[in-house]
């Protein structure tokens, strides 16, 4: 990937003793983990344990009350969010697909949704068009291109949000329950895409409640407990083969 040894030695994403509360309610409690380049990692745990919150903190949409969050050796904190250039860089390098598609979609058409990110990156028009066509084809929604996202079904909306992020070709994909609401063929296509994305040297962080999805991805599990604390990010025996096979 053309990285120096020093760059390779630093984890891509690193949470160290991160805690976060909404008001008085602690929803992330002293959580530490690292994600390396080219890995597929799965955040697992019961409803309300804090997976979405961890992803929002990872993307600089919320900030740790204590502990540190690093991306490529740079601190993700309020100072970074206030620095327009640094924040833009983070959001172009780390694509975030929200759990709820309605929170993400805002353009008048599917096509514009997929074009927004690449256009913001300042890419030439032909390149934007090419990326939009590729992303829509990838998630099998080319025929929906002119339609208004709010009129689509839940699974169709989810596929639009995936296309809108993938069209930016980010180094890291953070996907909050990406297969939720998808039919089997669409879920399989997303799985195959994420595996190939990581094979190409990109990094993938998902949250999910589906064991099959974790296995098919060959993802390294990071488990959060009901108590909002880390359970274990060790590779279980059953997943060793999957990880080694990647
Ligand atoms: N904006 C908010 N204000 C107050 N509390 C919130 C807010 N968002 C989430 N919470 C609370 O924080 C806790 C963690 O929520 P989070 O969405 O991170 O859980 P999750 O692990 O993603 O759950 P799920 O599996 O249902 O998606 C929950 O108890 C939730 O009620
Ligand atoms: Mg969630």
Residue range 198-217, pLDDT digits in tens: 999 999 999 999 999 999 99
Q: Is the CB of 223 under 6 A from ligand 1?
A: no
Q: What pLDDT, in 10s, does the model give residues 12-30? A: 999 999 999 999 999 999 9
Question: Is residue 203 within 8 Å of 171, Cβ to Cβ?
Answer: yes
CA separation for the pair 113, 3 (Å, rounded)? 32
Give, using CA atoms, the residue closest to atom 1 of ligand 1.
22
Name the band, by pLDDT with cuts 50, 70 and 90, for residue 7: low
Q: List Cα–Cα distances, 212 to 60, 100, 126, 136, in angstroms.
A: 30, 21, 38, 25
| Spatial CB neighbours of 131, under 8 Å, sequence gap ≥ 6 | 114, 115, 118, 123, 167, 168, 169
Give, using CA atoms, the residue closest to atom 28 of ligand 1.
48
CA separation for the pair 215, 237 (Å, rounded)? 12
Count other Cβ atoms within 10 Å, centred on residue 129: 14
Q: What is the DSSP code (8-state) at residue 102? A: G
Q: Across residues 101-111, what is the average pLDDT?
A: 96
Strands (E), the chain: 13-22, 25-35, 40-44, 66-71, 74-75, 94-97, 172-176, 203-207, 220-224, 230-232
Helix pair 110-120, 154-166: axis angle to 10 deg:
20
Q: Is the CB of 53 under 6 A from ligand 1?
A: yes
Name the band, by pLDDT with cuts 50, 70 and 90, for residue 242: very low
Name the band, by pLDDT with cuts 50, 70 and 90, for residue 112: very high
Q: Residue 103: is its pLDDT beyond 80?
A: yes
Give, using CA atoms, the residue closest to atom 3 of ligand 1.
22
CA separation for the pair 184, 103 (Å, rounded)? 24
Q: Which atom of ligand 1 is least distant from the CA of 55?
A: 18
Q: Is the CB of 57 under 6 A from ligand 1?
A: no
Name the band, by pLDDT with cuts 50, 70 and 90, for residue 8: low
To which residue do tokens 């609401």 refer? 181
Give, using CA atoms, the residue closest to atom 13 of ligand 1.
48
Q: Across residues 124-147, what is the average pLDDT?
A: 97
CA separation for the pair 99, 122 (Å, rounded)? 27
pLDDT at 239: 47
Q: What pLDDT, in 10s, does the model give residues 31-60? A: 999 999 999 999 999 999 999 999 999 999
Q: What is the DSSP code (8-state) at residue 235? A: P
Q: Which atom of ligand 1 is least distant from the CA of 228?
A: 14
Q: What is the DSSP code (8-state) at residue 236? A: P
CA separation for the pair 191, 199 (Å, rounded)? 12
Q: Which atom of ligand 1 is least distant from the CA of 46?
A: 25
Name the band, by pLDDT with cuts 50, 70 and 90, for residue 124: very high
């Amino acid at each position: 990937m053309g990285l120096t040894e020093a760059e390779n030695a630093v984890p891509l994403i690193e949470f160290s003793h991160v805690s976060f509360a909404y008001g008085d309610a602690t929803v992330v409690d002293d959580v530490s983990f690292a994600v390396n380049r080219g890995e597929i990692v799965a955040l697992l745990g019961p409803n309300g344990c804090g997976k979405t919150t961890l992803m929002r903190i990872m993307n600089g949409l919320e900030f740790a009350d204590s502990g540190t969050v690093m991306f490529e050796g740079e601190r993700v904190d309020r100072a970074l969010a206030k620095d327009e250039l640094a924040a833009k860089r983070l959001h172009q390098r780390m694509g975030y697909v929200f759990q709820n598609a309605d929170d993400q979609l805002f353009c008048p058409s599917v096509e514009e949704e997929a074009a927004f990110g690449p256009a913001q990156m300042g890419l030439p028009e032909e390149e934007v068009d090419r990326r939009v066509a590729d992303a829509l084809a990838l998630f099998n929604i080319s025929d929906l291109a002119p339609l208004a996202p709010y009129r689509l079904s839940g699974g169709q909306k989810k596929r639009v949000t995936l296309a809108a992020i993938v069209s930016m070709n980010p180094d890291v994909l953070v996907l909050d329950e990406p297969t939720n609401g998808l039919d089997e063929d669409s879920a399989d296509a997303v799985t195959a895409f994420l595996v190939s994305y990581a094979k190409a040297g990109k990094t993938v962080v998902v949250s999910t409640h589906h064991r099959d999805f974790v296995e098919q991805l060959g993802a390294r599990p990071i488990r959060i407990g009901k108590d909002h604390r880390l359970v274990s990010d060790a590779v279980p025996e059953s997943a060793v083969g999957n990880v080694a096979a990647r």
